[in-house]
Structures are given as C-alpha cells and as structure tokens.
Copies of this chain bind each other. A is one copy, B any other.
Amino acid sequence: MCEANVYIIDKEGKETLLLESVDKVVPTEEGIFLENIYSQRKIVKAKIKEMALVGHRIVLEEK
C-alpha cells in the first residue's frame, strides 16, 4: 500500500504527526481534507509544504 503519514508544522515551527496511512488529500475551501485507509477523516486549515511519496511523507504548514 502506498499511503503516507501526514505531519503538520505549527506556527512555532514544531512538527507533529497529524494522521497516519493517508490515502486521499484534497484541498477544499474549508481546508485540506485528509482520509486514511481506515476511513478516518480530518480537515485542517493548512497548506501543503512538501510531499515525498517514496518516503511516505507529506508535510503541511498551519495557516
């Protein structure tokens, strides 16, 4: 499976794991919608900073 872990960097620059095993990432007007392979969903007010898919890593930055 090729899901990724999604991390978020807060306004102080601290990085934390937000959601594991994410399949779907969809930017919406309310924020970035995330859904993982266990059907857990989150919407976060953030922007995408970088994605490294082979490393299973997506980094968001809090807005």
Contact = CB atoms under 8 A, between A and B. Distances in A.
Interface of A: 1-4, 22-27, 37, 47-56
Classify the secondary structure of A's interface with B.
strand
Contact of A25 (B1, B22, B23, B51): B51
Question: Which 3 residue pairs spanning A and B have beta carbons closest together?
Answer: A2-B2, A25-B51, A23-B54
A53 B27 contact: no
Contact of A2 (B24, B48, B49, B56): B56
Question: Looking at A3, A49, A52, which has the most chain B CB atoms within 10 Å of its CB?
Answer: A52
Nearest to A35: B52
Contact of A26 (B2, B26, B37, B51): B51
